[in-house]
Amino acid sequence: MINPSISIIVPVYRTPIHLLYRLLTSALEQTLQDIELILVDDASPDDCPKVLDAAAEKDKRVTVLHRVRNERAGMARNDGLRIAKGKYVLFVDSDDFMHSKMCSKMLELALQHQADIISCSWDIFDAENRPIGRHRLPDCVCDLSSPHQKVKAFRHLNSALWNKMFLRDKVKKINFERFEVNIGEDILFNISALCRSQRMVMTSYVGYGYTAHNTSVTGRSTKGISYLRTLSLSQEKITDVLLRQDGSKVARIYAERSALNRFIGGCQWIAEHPSSNERSAMWDYWHHYLRYSLLPSIRYCKILSISFWLIALTGNLKSVYPLMRFVSKISDPLRYIDRISA
């Protein structure tokens, strides 16, 4: 196949075999047959590489790349994107699955509206494949030259890659970043793609099945301050992309709103950390970041940032996170975006 309509790129590393088979089946049994499936083995030390090679032997639409060193999903996606031939690209996680009409429905919307990004709704399952929720997006076509419609696109962009299809010409020069902790690279890619696009379509059609895994206490204890460092560094890159590639007032407000939201996420991470000694050290680090890095950079969200500072002065970790989250919801500067001009 020379020029398929859609390239599906899947990084694979230590995926439970039954979930990997589920993903492969869901991708290869799409009602749209005009696809290529690029499976990137990120130096997985188990039987995953054999499963991928077997899939390639059975179906000519499958291409397998074997990496010699594990460098996490972002680097594997970069490899897949470099060889993709499809007009559009989808990034899918190996422990999730695609509903059978996902590709055909998203391609239909892309062609109908000449869209650069198409974003679908998704189901949520637990590790035992039991349905536990659904996230439904509004049906909307966003002209990104309009500040009002761009706000709607930013609001519903979210950090996930796997519910979005991108026009390859718009994203082929974007590289996934690699951070100290495996967070931030997906939303950074999404924002960079949005800043390069003219039209985004959202649909209430549920095309994807996401598997939710609980974050373990052990996982939290091994990350600590490195998680906070990655939050702040990835936010710096997000802000840089928004200001450099877009620069509009909407983008500037969103950058500040994103930074404050990620600060709240860091507060939650600290509050739920299992070690009291670590929590204290992490809060000192995060409080310093708030005072000397985050707050001085705020221009549009002043009321919200001052509220954060006053709440932080309490020093009570149990109350800081819920109070900041509450204030953030009632003082959202994006609510007033309709009052600004392009």
For residues 173-190, b (16+ Cβ closer than 10 Å) or e, as one string? ebebbebebebbbbbbbb
Strands, E assignment, the chain: 6-12, 35-41, 62-66, 88-91, 97-98, 117-125, 131-135, 140-143, 164-167, 199-211
The two tokens of residue 20 are 């990997």
| Partner residues linked to 122 by β-bridges | 135, 208
**Distance of alpha carbon 263 from its chain centroid, rounded?**
17
Judge whether 256 and 334 are in contact, CB under 8 Å. Answer: no
| Partner residues linked to 164 by β-bridges | 119
Tens of pLDDT, residues 210-254: 999 764 343 444 568 899 999 999 999 999 999 999 999 999 999
Tens of pLDDT, residues 13-71: 999 999 999 999 999 999 999 999 999 999 999 999 999 999 999 999 999 999 999 99
Tens of pLDDT, residues 181-194: 888 899 999 999 99
Q: Which domains does the chain have, with CATH numbers?
A: 6-211 (3.90.550.10), 217-339 (no CATH)
